[in-house]
Amino acid sequence: MFREKIKVLDCTVRDGGLMNNHNFDLRFVREVYKSLSEAGIDYMEIGYKNSKQLFNPKEFGKWKFCDDEDISKVIDGIKSHTKISVMVDVDRVDVDQVLLKKDSPVDMIRVATYVKDVDKAIFLTNHFADKGYETAVNIMAISRALDNELTECLQQLEKECKAKIVYIVDSFGSLYQESTEFLIKKAKSILKTKEIGIHAHNNQQLAFSNTIEAIIHDANYVDGSIFGLGRAAGNCPTELLLGFLKNPKYDIRPILDVISKEFIPLQKKIEWGYFIPYAITGILDEHPRTAIALRESDKKENYREYYESLVGEVEE
């Protein structure tokens, strides 16, 4: 019953890092890597390759920069077939700091871009592909893309870009399954030579179902995160994905263990998951940044007032 081509990328540490400035300690990241390896997960995304000229390393954790030596400290001594992925944002990476693949523990580089920045994304992706990495392009905020611009973006990716995979990213958690179907079918119809992936956010509790919807329409690369850890409402829970995918190479048990041991305690330090302000931004197709700010304020449960601030005629 399973489709062998489906690959799971776990982005727990990368997307979760957006909630704590990437300050996960080495022990925690090794525990995550170990559990993903034992579970048979295909890729682990560990963080971003950001330029230290643009971000001060004293203000952020290691996984905002993902130095190769830090990655090596995570993986050393752990038996694994799980590949390592890092993310790169357009305009935030210093490409000269990225070594050739043969000299790096990184296997895949995913370039995150908005539709409007696709030319820059193609340049970066081809650069990393030429250095020997597996590459992917993640099209963020796709719910906001105008159809004609998305068409052109996808056509360019098909013609000009060496990426193996193009991911549809529902940054705001606003897609329903019919929109997911529409976007995946559209991407498949243009990207004849590439695989399609999906990265979903869980604002409306639809990350898992939209991921299934994408799989139904032939997306083969799916993002999950352990216990849903990720920005704001978080992502598609990896444990639910493993319950759904029938590939016998996956084992849910190590994921259950690491949730018990690491993620239940972590919930006391970082807040993520289903909270009404995130549901509201998902419903309204808005970036969650104002909702995150609300949750950090003393008005964190003032939902109606927050809703009115987004839909009402109040001046901002």
- With 0-12 CB in 10 A as exposed, 13-18 as middle and 19+ as buried, what is 50? buried
How does DSSP classify residue 178? H
CB of 250 to its own copies, least distance (A): 12
**24-to-20, 130, 289 alpha-carbon distances in Å:** 8, 31, 21
Q: Is 205 in the site for its own copies (CB under 8 A)?
A: yes
Residue type, 76: D
Q: Is 287 in the site for its own copies (CB under 8 A)?
A: no
Q: Is 252 in the site for its own copies (CB under 8 A)?
A: yes
Stretch that binds its own copies, among 114-122, 141-149, 158-166, 298-306 (CB under 8 A): 298-306
Spell 189-201 as b/e; 16+ CB within 10 A means b: ebbeebbbbbbbb
Sign of CA dihedral 220, 79, 73, 27: positive
Triad 80, 131, 151: Cα angle to 5° = 95
Give the contacts of 260 (CB within 8 A, at least 6 positions apart).
none
Contact 155, 186 (CB under 8 A): no
CB of 204 to its own copies, least distance (A): 5
Q: Is 79 in the site for its own copies (CB under 8 A)?
A: no
Strand partners, 88: 111
CB of 43 to its own copies, least distance (A): 22
Q: Is 209 in the site for its own copies (CB under 8 A)?
A: yes
The single residue among 176, 186, 220, 290 that binds its own copies, judged by CB under 8 A, is 176
Q: Is 170 in the site for its own copies (CB under 8 A)?
A: no
Stretch that binds its own copies, among 3-11, 24-32, 34-42, 203-211 (CB under 8 A): 203-211
The single residue among 240, 291, 292, 294 that binds its own copies, judged by CB under 8 A, is 240
Residue 63 or 263: which CB sits closer to its own copies? 263
Contact 281, 291 (CB under 8 A): yes
Q: Is 185 in the site for its own copies (CB under 8 A)?
A: no
Stretch that binds its own copies, among 16-24, 111-119, 129-137, 303-311 (CB under 8 A): 303-311
Q: Is 177 in the site for its own copies (CB under 8 A)?
A: yes
Strand partners, 168: 139, 198
How does DSSP classify residue 43? E
Q: Is 146 in the site for its own copies (CB under 8 A)?
A: no
**Residues near its own copies, by CB under 8 A:** 176-178, 202, 204-210, 212-213, 216, 227-228, 237, 239-240, 243-244, 252-253, 256-257, 259-260, 264, 273-274, 276, 279-280, 282-283, 301-304, 307-308
